[in-house]
């Protein structure tokens, strides 16, 4: 009984605890101890019963708000350290340089992009999130705009007096770049490289080459040690999202114009087709 009380008192003493932590770090840094810990971990995680118990314990812990809060604070504290960021970057670069990881990543990208169910579900998820995203951006004034997009807006205003910029309409489940109520005209500007420079055509040899090039680049590692997700986003935008917008407008009987550069907008204005 006296021994238990003594242990409890010792645990409340910061000096004693600091010594214990220091001693623990020194012991765990020894090669033989590291190897023993590694062997135990491998043995445990190859045991189905242990894996099940471990998973159940994690689920139970994650259901506890207090545990989640403590974990979140601890993670923020760790990732605010520069050495932790650098270590993670090195690990990520090493991991993504492995041929097997590269092969799996590429196979996953190709499989997901070729799976109709995946493409439909992804599009549905994006659509369902659009109203909230639009409301937030409208409130904060944080819509992404480029100089060409602003230039086209100014150009179009010379012939369309009631032109609206970044508009939502229930018939078109995306934020359209420009809309004219009097003409009931929807206009999209697809000027960034994400949109491929022209409408995607799966039978066009040049488009197939570009798509394969983007897939290869999506496997490359950037300066942060991560894969280039911008190319995955571009693949989806060009081959899934953009065609879906055109098809949706057609199915809903909407007038939709798509410009891929300022020259096309100027030509449309000069023709006077409204």
Q: 44 with 130, same domain?
A: no
Distances (CA, A) of 25 to 10, 28, 78, 83: 19, 5, 17, 18
**pLDDT at residue 214 tops 80:** yes
249 and 265, same domain (yes or no) = yes
Residue 214 sits in the same domain as residue 123: yes
Among 11-25, 59-73, 84-98, 181-195, the range with the most confident prediction by mean pLDDT is 181-195
When comparing pLDDT for 218 and 254, which is higher? 254
CB 162, CB 274: distance < 8 Å: no
pLDDT at 174 over 70: yes
Q: Within this chain, do residues 75 and 180 fall inside the same structural domain, yes or no?
A: no
Give the H/E segment covering residue 96: helix 82-96
| Per-residue model confidence (pLDDT) at position 93 | 75
Same domain flag for 84 and 121: no
Number of domains in the chain: 2
pLDDT band at 89 (very low <50, low <70, confident <90, very high): confident
Mean pLDDT lowest among 95-109, 192-206, 236-250: 95-109
Question: Is residue 152's pLDDT more than 80?
Answer: yes
The parent domain of residue 262 ranges over 99-271
Tell me the residue ranges of DSSP E strands in 86-218: 164-169, 172-180, 185-189
Instruction: Check whether 193 has a pLDDT greater than 90.
Output: yes
Claim to verify: residue 88 and residue 118 sit in the same structural domain: no
- pTM for the model stands at 0.50
Kindly tell me if the per-residue pLDDT of 2 is higher than 80: no
pLDDT at 262: 92
Do both 217 and 112 map to the same domain? yes
Size of the chain, expressed as the number of residues it contains: 274
pLDDT of 103 over the 60 cut: yes
Per-residue pLDDT at 84 exceeds 80 = no
Contacting residues for 186 by C-beta, under 8 A, at least 6 apart: 169, 172, 176, 178, 179, 249, 254, 255, 256, 257
Average pLDDT of span 77-90: 80
Residue-wise pLDDT for 31-53, tens only, equals 887 888 888 878 877 777 877 78
Instruction: Answer yes or no: do 74 and 111 share one domain.
Output: no
**55-61-66 Cα angle (round to 5):** 165
The domain boundary, picked from 96, 119, 134, lies at 96
Same structural domain, 30 and 6: yes
Q: Same structural domain for residues 92 and 112?
A: no
Chosen domain end from 69, 96, 123: 96
Asked whether residue 204 falls in the same domain as residue 144, the answer is yes
Q: Which of 33-37, 150-154, 190-194, 210-214 has the lowest mean pLDDT?
A: 33-37
Q: Of the ranges 10-14, 67-71, 86-90, 208-212, which one carries the lowest mean pLDDT score?
A: 10-14
Based on the domain organization, do 84 and 112 belong to the same domain? no
Q: Give 197's contacts (C-beta < 8 A, 6+ positions apart).
A: 260
pLDDT in the model for residue 259: 96
Average pLDDT value for the chain: 80
216 CA to centre of own chain: 18
Examine the pLDDT at 254 and tell me if it is beyond 90.
Answer: yes
- Domain boundary, last residue among 61, 96, 131: 96
| Average pLDDT rounded to a whole number, residues 166-193 | 93
């Amino acid at each position: 009984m006296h021994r238990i009380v003594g242990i409890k008192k010792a645990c409340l003493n910061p000096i004693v605890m600091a010594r214990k932590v220091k001693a623990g770090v020194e012991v765990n840094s020894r090669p033989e101890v590291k190897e023993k810990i590694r062997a135990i971990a491998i043995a445990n995680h190859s045991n189905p019963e242990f894996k099940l118990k471990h998973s159940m314990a994690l689920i139970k812990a994650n259901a506890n708000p207090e545990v989640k809060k403590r974990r979140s604070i601890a993670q923020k504290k760790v990732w605010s350290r520069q050495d932790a960021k650098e270590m993670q970057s090195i690990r990520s670069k090493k991991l993504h340089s492995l041929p097997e990881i590269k092969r799996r990543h590429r196979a996953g990208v190709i499989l997901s992009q070729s799976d109709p169910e995946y493409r439909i579900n992804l599009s549905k998820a994006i659509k369902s999130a659009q109203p909230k995203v639009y409301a937030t951006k409208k409130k904060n004034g944080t819509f992404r705009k480029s100089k060409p997009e602003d230039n086209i807006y100014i150009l179009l205003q010379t012939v369309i007096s009631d032109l609206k910029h970044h508009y939502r309409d229930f018939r078109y489940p995306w934020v359209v770049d420009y809309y004219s109520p009097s003409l009931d005209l929807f206009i999209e500007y697809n000027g960034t490289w994400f949109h491929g420079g022209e409408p995607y055509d799966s039978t066009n040899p040049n488009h197939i080459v570009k798509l394969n090039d983007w897939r290869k680049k999506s496997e490359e590692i950037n300066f942060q040690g991560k894969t280039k997700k911008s190319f995955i986003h571009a693949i989806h935008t060009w081959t899934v999202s953009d065609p879906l917008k055109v098809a949706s407008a057609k199915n809903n009987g909407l007038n939709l114009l798509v410009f891929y550069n300022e020259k096309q907008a100027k030509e449309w204005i000069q023709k006077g087709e409204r």
